[in-house]
Homo-oligomer: A and B are copies of this chain.
Amino acid sequence: MSPTTARVTSVDTYDIRFPTSRELDGSDAMNPDPDYSAAYVVLRTDAADAPEGHGFAFTIGRGNDVQVAAIEALRGQVLGRSVDALCADPASLYRDLTGDSQLRWLGPEKGVAHMAVGAVVNAVWDLAARRARKPLWRLLADAEPEWLVEQADFRYLTDVLTPGDALDLLRRGRKGADERRARLLERGYPAYTTSPGWLGYDDAKLTRLARRAVADGFTQIKLKVGADLDDDIRRCRTARAAVGPDIRLALDANQRWDVPEAIRWTTALAAFDPYWIEEPTSPDDILGHAAIRRAVAPVKVATGEHAQNRVVVKQLLQAGAIDVLQLDAARVGGVNENLAILLLAARFGVPVCPHAGGVGLCELVQHLAMFDYLAVSGTTDDRVIEYVDHLHEHFLDPVVVRDGHYTAPAAPGFSAALRPESIARYTYPGGTFWAADLAERTRKEQAV
Contact = CB atoms under 8 A, between A and B. Distances in A.
Interface of A: 30-35, 59-63, 65-67, 69-70, 73, 100-115, 155-159, 255, 258-261, 281-288, 291, 306, 308-309, 311-312, 314-315, 318-319
Contact of A62 (B100, B108, B112): B100
A31 B104 CA distance: 9
A45 B220 CA distance: 54
A63 B73 contact: yes
Number of copies: 2
Given A65-B69, A157-B258, A106 B112 contact: yes
B101 A106 contact: no
A111 B105 contact: no
A33 B101 contact: yes
Given A111-B114, A306-B108, A311 B291 contact: no
Contacts of A100: 62
Given A63-B102, A112-B66, A113-B112, A281 B156 contact: yes
A62 B73 contact: yes
Contact of A286 (B110, B155, B286): B286
Contacts of A108: 255, 282-283, 306
Contacts of A318: 287
Nearest to A283: B108
Nearest to A39: B106
Given A111-B308, A158-B260, 11 more contacts: A60-B102, A106-B115, A108-B255, A109-B282, A112-B113, A156-B288, A159-B259, A284-B309, A284-B311, A285-B315, A287-B315
A110 B111 contact: yes
Nearest to A331: B105
A388 to B, nearest CB: 16
Nearest to A103: B63
A43 to B, nearest CB: 19
Contacts of A284: 109-110, 156, 308-309, 311-312, 315
Contacts of A287: 286, 315, 318-319
Q: Of A63, A156, A158, A319, which is in contact with the most chain B CB atoms at under 10 Å from its CB?
A: A63
Contacts of A106: 59, 63, 66-67, 111-112, 115
Q: Top 6 closest A-B pairs, CB basis?
A: A111-B111, A159-B259, A61-B102, A62-B102, A112-B112, A284-B311
A112 B63 CA distance: 11
Contact of A66 (B34, B59, B60, B113): B113
A104 B31 CA distance: 9
